[in-house]
Structure 1
Amino acid sequence: MREQVLAALHALPELAVLPVEVVDDLFARAARRPFLLPFVALLLLMAAAALTLQPAYQRASATGRAWYLGGTVAVGAAMLWLLPGLSLYARVVSSVIYLTVLSIYMMDFGDLDRYRDHWRFLLLIFLYSGFWVLYFQMFDSVLWYVQAYVDASSLNHFVNGVLGALGVGPIFHFDVEHVTVINAGTIILLQLLVSSIVRKTRALPTMITGIAFGTVGMAMLAISTGIWVFMAGIIVFSIGEMTAHPKFISYVGQIAPRDRVATYMGYIFLYGVIGSSIGGVLGANLYVHWVDQLNRPRTLWLIFASIGVVTILGLVLYNLFLHRPEEQES
C-alpha cells in the first residue's frame, strides 16, 4: 500500500518537480506524526478544565458565563490552530468537535442519581461498536482487497452474456463501487422480509444473531478470492447488518428513561464514531501488514471475524449480567 500511495503522489503534477527522495521523506514524516493521540489528549484536557470551572460558571452572571464559554472556545481553538502539520480542513473539523466540551458547563451535577445507570448504556454502545469496526472495512480494506485479489471474470462473463442475450449494449465490469451496491441492494430487497421475521423477537438476542451473520460474512472472505464467494460474504454480512441495527435502535428506545429518550437516541450514534475511528486505522494497518507485506489476506479477514466473535461474547455477557428483566423488549 505504501508503494501505491507513493506512486500516486509522484504522479501529481504539483509534486512531479520534486525529487522522489523528497516525496518519500514527506510521506515518512507524515506517517510518524499521528494526529489522533494529541487530538484526544487535548479534548480530555479541555473537558477537565471545563469540569473544574463548571461550579464557577453556574454561579456567574450572564456576562460572566459568556466569558467562560468564549474563553474555553478561544483556548481550544488556539491549541488546535497552533499544532503544526494540520490541514485547514482538519483544524476546522476538530474545532467543531471541540465545541461539544461546552455542554459540560450546562450539566447539573447536583442531581447525579439520574446518571447512575448511564455506564450500562455507554457500555452497550461500546460493545455494539465492534460490529461497526467490521462494517467500515467496506470502505477501505475490502475495496483494496477487491482490486488486488478478487477475480471477477466469471461474473463479468455471466452478466455480459445476459446483457448480450437481451440486446443491451453496455459492457459490464465489476469494480470496487459495486461492493457498496451489493450491500445497499441486499438491504433494499430484504429489509422488509427480515424485519417481519424478527418483529416479535427479543432485541438483544436478535442483535447477537445479526452480528453473528455479519461475522460469518466477514469470515467467508477468507475462503476464496473468487467473486461468487466474495459476493456471498457481502450478502450474508448485509443480512446481519439489517438484522442487528434496527433492533439496536429499538432496544435503546425501550431502555431509555421516558424523559431522556431524545438524549439516548442521540448518543447511540457514538457507535459510528467509535467504529469508524477504530475501523479505519485498524483496517489500514492490518491490511498493510498482512496483505501488502505478508501476502496473507485470509488472515486479515479471520482477524476481523474474531473481532465479531469478541463482540458477540461481550453482548452475551451483557445480556446475562447487565440486562434487567424490567426492560421489556420487543
Structure 2
Amino acid sequence: MGVFRKFPRTFWVANTIELFERWAWYGFFMLFANYLTGSSDMGGLEFTQSQKGILMGVGTGILYFLPVLTGAIADRYGYKKVLALAFVIYTSAFVLLPMFSTFTGVFLMYLYLALGAALFKPIISATIAKTTTDETASIGFGIYYMMVNIGAFFGPMVTLLFKGSSNLVFYVSAGIIALNFVLLLFYKEPHRGVVQQTSLTRTFGDIFRNMFSIVKDLKFVVFLLIVAGFWTMYNQLFFTLPVFISQWIDTSVLYHFFEKYIPFISTNYSPAPGVMDAEFVTNFDALYIIIFQIIVSSVVMRMKPLKSMISGFLVCSIGMALTLFSQNVLFTLVAILIFSLGEMAGSPKITEYIGRIAPHDKKALYMGYSFIPVFIGNVFAGIISGVVYQNMADKVMITRQFVAKKDLQLPDGLSNNAYFDHVAQQVNLTPHELTNLLWNEYSPSDIWMVILAIGLGTTLLLYIYDRVINKTKR
C-alpha cells in the first residue's frame, strides 16, 4: 500500500475527474448503438446498421484524432483552461443531442460532443504521466484505467433507469459531467515546462511540424498502426455487441436469476419480461475490470509493455471467439470475462508505453498521438459494425431476406419489432422460435470470425514488431 502514498493530490483529482467524465460518456454511449438502430416503438431512431457504423465510426474516430491537435493546445495554453472549455461543450452537447432525430442532425451534434471529448482526453492522461514515475507508472495507469471503468460501469447502470425517455438519458450525462466544474477548483496545473506564448496560427503550424517529425519515426508509426487492430476489436463491445445481444442472445436465464434473488435488477434492467437489457449484459466488462484491474496490473507491472500487450491482445481474441458458439447469455458473460482480462493486461500498457518514451515537456502532445490508433480503430470498427454487420448478422436485414424467400406479404409502416412479430405470426412461430430459426439458417454469429481474425492478426504483428525492436537494440 506504500506506493499509493507516492502519488500527489493532483493525481487523485485528475482520476476523479476522469471517473465522472467516463460516467457521463458511457452513460449514453453504451446505449447509443441500440438508440440509433432500435425500433421506434422503444424510442429508437431506426437508422440502418450502416448508418450507425458511419456515425459511430467516423464521429468517434474524429474524437480520437483531434487530440493530436488539442494535446498541443493544452500544452501551450494550460490544462485547466482547456478542461473548463471541454466541460462547457460537453454539457451543452448532451442537452442538445436528443433534440435531433435525422441522420444529419444527430451526426453533426455528435461531432460537437466529440470536440468536447477531444479537448478533454489528452489532458488527463498527460496529468497521470506527469504525476507518476517509472516506479509508480504501471500501478498509476492501472488506477487510471480502473477509474475509467468505474465510470464506464456506473454510467449505464444509472442511465438505464431512465431508458424510457431518451432525453433523460442525455440529461443525466449532462448533469454528471457538470460535477467536474466543482472538481476543477481542486485541480492544480502540473508543470508544463517552458511554454512560449504565440498566436493560434503559429501554434497549429508547430503542431503540423511536430506531426511530420513524428511521422519520420517509422517504428513509432508502425506501432500505432498495429495497435489500431486492437482498438478495432475492442470497439465492438460498444458498436456491435449490444446490438448483437439485443437481436440474438437469449437472456432469460439471467432474467429469472435476478427475478428470484435480486428483483430490483430484473425490474429496472429489463425491456420486457424474460429479457435483460443488452447494455446491462455488456456492462459486465466494466464490472470485471473494477474487480480485477489492480490484481492484473500487479501481475503485469514487471512485464515489459510490449510483452504485456501481446499477451493481452491474444486473450482478448480468445474472448471474442467464444461469442461464436452459443445464444446462451451465460456463455456471453464468460466470453466478456476472458476478453476483459486481456483488455486489462494490454490496454493500459499502450498509454504507459507511449508515456515512457515521450519527452517530459511534450507529454500531452505525445499522449495526443496515443489516440491515433484509437481513431483508426474506430473508423474500421464502424465499417465492421455497419456495412459488414448489416450484411452478415443484422436481424432486420435477415428477417427481410427470410420474408422475400418465403414470399410473405406484410403491411407497410411497421416498426422493426412489429414487423418481426408479424413475420413470426405468418409462419406460425413465436418470436423466440423465429429467432432460433434465423440463427440456425443464416449463421449471424459468423460476424465474430471477422473480429477474431483482426485480433489474432494484431497479436501476430505486435509479436513481430517486438522481435524487430529487440534486435535493433542489440
**Correspondent of 1:200 among 292, 295, 302:** 302
Could you tell me which of 142, 147, 150 is aligned with 2:241? 142
| 2:343 alignment counterpart | 241
One-letter code of the match for 1:249?
T
Distance 1:251 1:324, change over 3 A: farther
Q: CA RMSD in A?
A: 4.2
Distance 1:113 1:307 in 2: 28
Q: Deviations over 1:148-195 (max 9, x none)?
A: 11111111122222237xxx7964642112134201111100001101
Does structure 2 conserve the Cα–Cα contact (< 8 Å) formed by 1:138 and 1:179? no
Q: State which of 300, 312, 317 in structure 1 corresponds to 2:459.
A: 312
2-structure distance, mates of 1:116, 1:275: 18
Q: Which segments of 5 or more consecutive residues in structure 1 lack a partner in the other structure?
A: 16-22, 41-84
Q: How much has 1:297 moved relative to structure 2?
A: 2.1
> Which residue is equivalent to 1:184?
286
SS at match of 1:225: coil
Q: Secondary structure at the match of 1:322?
A: helix
Q: CA deviation at 1:118?
A: 2.5
For residue 444 of structure 2, the aligned residue among 297, 304, 312 is 297
**Which position in structure 1 is the counterpart of 2:469?**
322
Aligned to 1:253: 355
Is structure 2 residue 220 aligned with structure 1 residue 118? no
Which of 209, 214, 218 is the equivalent residue of 2:316?
Answer: 214
CA–CA separation in structure 1 for the residues paired with 2:389 and 2:277: 19
Matched AA of 1:125: L
Q: Which residue matches 1:72?
A: none
CA 101–222 in structure 1, closer or farther in 2 if over 3 Å, else same:
farther
Q: Give the counterpart letter for 1:206 in structure 2.
A: S
2:450 corresponds to which letter in structure 1? Answer: I
Deviation at 1:259, TM superposition (A): 5.1
How far apart are the structure 1 equivalents of 2:278 and 2:38?
Answer: 21
1:209-252 deviation line (CA, Å, top 9, x unaligned): 11111111111100111111101111111111111011112211
Task: Name the residue aligned to 2:206.
Answer: 106
Amino acid at match of 1:254: R
The one-character-per-residue Cα deviations of 1:22-45 (angstroms, maximum 9, x if unpaired) are x9xxx89x97xx8999xx9xxxxx
Task: Tell me the matched-pair count.
Answer: 260
Give the structure-1-normalised TM-score.
0.65
1:254 and 1:169 map into 2 onto residues whose CA distance is 43
CA distance in 1, matches of 2:246, 2:110: 33
User: Residue type of the partner of 2:206?
Assistant: M
Match for 1:156: what amino acid?
Y
Segment of structure 1 superposing worse, 86-95 or 201-210: 86-95
Farther-moved stretch of structure 1 (195-204 vs 250-259): 250-259
Cα distance in 2 for partners of 1:6, 1:243 equals: 34
The structure whose Rg is larger is 1
Residue pair 1:204, 1:319 contacting (<8 A) in 2 also: yes
> Residues 190 and 101 of structure 1: is their aligned pair in 2 closer, same or farther, counting only changes over 3 Å?
farther
Bigger Cα displacement from structure 2, 315-324 vs 178-187? 315-324
User: Would the alpha carbon gap of residues 267 and 228 (structure 1) be closer, same or farther in structure 2, given more than 3 Å must change?
Assistant: same
1:318 Cα deviation after fit:
0.8
Could you list the runs of 5+ residues in structure 2 that have no partner in the other structure? 1-32, 62-102, 117-199, 271-275, 399-441
1:253–1:265 Cα contact (<8 Å) kept: yes
Conservation of the 8 A alpha-carbon contact between 2:258 and 2:266: no
2:239, 2:265 → 1: CA distance? 31
Deviation (angstroms), 1:119: 2.7
Write out per-residue CA displacement over residues 37-56 of structure 1, whole angstroms, 9 at most, x where no aligned residue. Answer: 9xx9xxxxxxxxxxxxxxxx
Whichever residue aligns with residue 162 of structure 1, its letter is Y
With over 3 angstroms needed to count, the CA separation of the structure-2 counterparts of 1:323 and 1:128, relative to structure 1, is farther
Contact 1:133–1:279, Cα closer than 8 Å, also in 2: yes
Do the aligned partners of residues 128 and 5 (structure 1) sit closer, same or farther apart at CA in structure 2, a change above 3 Å counting?
closer
Residues 241 and 282 in structure 2, CA contact (< 8 A), matched pair in contact too: no
Amino acid at match of 1:90: L
1:86 is displaced (CA, Å) by 5.1
